[in-house]
């Protein structure tokens, strides 16, 4: 639908989305459509209904909520203000133009060299992925995976020797050859289809040592299974599925590395999952899916946000497996209050310290069921 085809009343709403983007807010096209649909459903009676719809669908980061409210008041109420993170040069120039990078969180002045600490501050960076030494292992995983994917019952039927139902159409077709006599009743059963897989990869500073290997594992998974979606999160959410569909591994990883802007930064798992669930198309990827979270769980954001987000994700998913390198220790216990609180919502917390462990875990899932 073009802008000119939209109702006249919707144009200020689109202008508000454009204003947010110019001031550093990341708003996906799906979020903009969800914003318009939410307002249509609410039938807003006052301006606060529009504000609440914007917060719910456009999902401004927690630390930039004052900026969101200020821009909302400027646009819809005509109130002047100054962005908290940026200074306008004059009263006539209040909008800050974005050069395409933008930011959603305060940048950290400290550089995390060791990759052992978790922080809530964002440090944007680029990365060139290191060469891998796991090619044979991943190739073997790719060959074995199609036959060992977890499956669900589909809606289409197929012929079977001992199916639970009768295939009347095929039985009557056979009866034509025997002058109307039904000699044999054909049977049928539902086809089994591979379950969708949702892979969520933590690229924060505390996971620095495993980030490269996790992306190589994601590339092998995407190219071996029919329905896989891959997202990275640290202080922001990034979808990598399209980049990882490239057959050439080095080319795919180079494109993916350029898409991720929050390498080795802070850890805000709850905010990232909330942003994922706020986009209806993204949330649909989790419905009935196997969700694999590759993270150490060292949440530095609001624990309540992570608990709520994991609860909503668990309600949609078939099962959620949390794979952490910290579980390599025999006496491992979750360290953060947020991860301890979501344990009842998870189907397993397993060892994700090596690529071999990740491959083995996924290959064994065909024999498991959802524990929740």
Where is average pLDDT lowest: 11-20, 33-42, 307-316? 33-42
Neighbours of 280 (CB within 10 A): 13
pLDDT at 106 over 50: no
Kindly list the distances between the CA atom of residue 106 and the CA atoms of 270, 297, 362, in Å, as whole numbers in the listed order: 17, 21, 37
DSSP 128: P
Q: What's the Cα-to-Cα distance from 347 to each of 100, 221, 228, 290, rounded to whole Å?
A: 39, 20, 19, 10
Confidence of residue 301 (pLDDT cuts 50, 70, 90): confident
Question: Three-state DSSP class for 350?
Answer: strand
Percent pLDDT > 70 in the chain is 81
Q: Is the pLDDT of residue 111 over 90?
A: no
Residue 129 neighbours by CB under 8 Å, 6+ apart? 212, 215, 216, 253, 254, 257
Q: Alpha-carbon distance 172 to 182, whole Å?
A: 7
- The tally of CA atoms less than 13 A away on the side-chain side of residue 92 is 0
- What's the rounded Cα separation, in Å, for the pair 2 and 25? 23
pLDDT of residue 265: 85
Six-digit token string for 104: 């959603």
Classified by CATH at the fold level, domain 135-146+195-367 comes out as Rossmann fold (3.40.50)
pTM: 0.61
**Of the candidates 9, 18, 26, the residue with the CA atom closest to the CA atom of residue 95:** 18
The more confident residue out of 203 and 156 is: 203
Give mean pLDDT, residues 185-196: 81
pLDDT score recorded for residue 12: 86
Whole-angstrom CA distances from 283 to 274, 275, 305, 313 are: 10, 9, 16, 8
In percent, the amount of the chain with pLDDT more than 90 equals 41
More confident residue, 228 or 189: 228
Q: Which residues belong to CATH 3.40.50.410 in the chain?
A: 135-146+195-367
């Amino acid at each position: 639908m073009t802008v000119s085809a939209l109702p006249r009343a919707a144009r200020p709403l689109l202008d508000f989305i454009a204003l947010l983007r110019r001031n550093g807010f990341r708003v996906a096209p799906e979020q903009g459509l969800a914003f318009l649909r939410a307002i249509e459903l609410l039938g807003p009676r006052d301006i606060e209904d529009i504000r609440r719809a914007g917060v719910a669908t456009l999902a401004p980061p927690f630390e930039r909520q004052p900026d969101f409210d200020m821009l909302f008041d400027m646009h819809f109420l005509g109130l002047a203000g100054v962005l908290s993170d940026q200074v306008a040069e004059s009263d006539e120039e209040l909008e800050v133009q974005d050069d395409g990078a933008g930011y959603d969180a305060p940048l950290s002045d400290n550089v995390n060299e060791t990759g052992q600490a978790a922080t809530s501050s964002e440090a944007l960076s680029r990365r060139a992925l290191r060469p891998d030494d796991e090619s044979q292992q991943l190739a073997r995983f790719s060959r074995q995976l199609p036959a060992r994917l977890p499956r669900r019952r589909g809606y289409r039927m197929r012929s079977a020797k001992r199916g639970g139902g009768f295939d009347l159409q095929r039985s009557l077709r056979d009866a034509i050859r025997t002058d109307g006599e039904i000699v044999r009743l054909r049977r049928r059963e539902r086809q089994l289809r591979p379950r969708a897989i949702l892979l969520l990869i933590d690229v924060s500073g505390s996971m620095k040592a495993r980030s490269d290997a996790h992306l190589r594992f994601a590339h092998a998974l995407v190219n071996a299974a029919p329905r896989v979606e891959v997202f990275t999160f640290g202080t922001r959410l990034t979808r990598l599925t399209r980049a990882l569909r490239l057959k050439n591994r080095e080319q795919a990883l180079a494109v993916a590395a350029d898409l991720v802007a929050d390498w080795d930064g802070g850890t805000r798992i709850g905010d990232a999952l909330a942003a994922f669930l706020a986009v209806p198309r993204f949330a649909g990827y989790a419905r009935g899916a196997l969700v694999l979270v590759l993270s150490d769980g060292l949440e530095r954001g609001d624990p309540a946000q992570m608990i709520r987000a994991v609860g909503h994700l668990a309600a949609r998913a078939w099962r959620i497996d949390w794979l952490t390198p910290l579980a390599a220790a025999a006496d491992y216990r979750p360290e953060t209050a947020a991860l301890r609180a979501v344990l009842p919502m998870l189907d397993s917390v397993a060892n994700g310290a090596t690529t071999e462990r990740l491959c083995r875990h996924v290959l064994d899932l065909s024999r498991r069921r959802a524990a929740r």
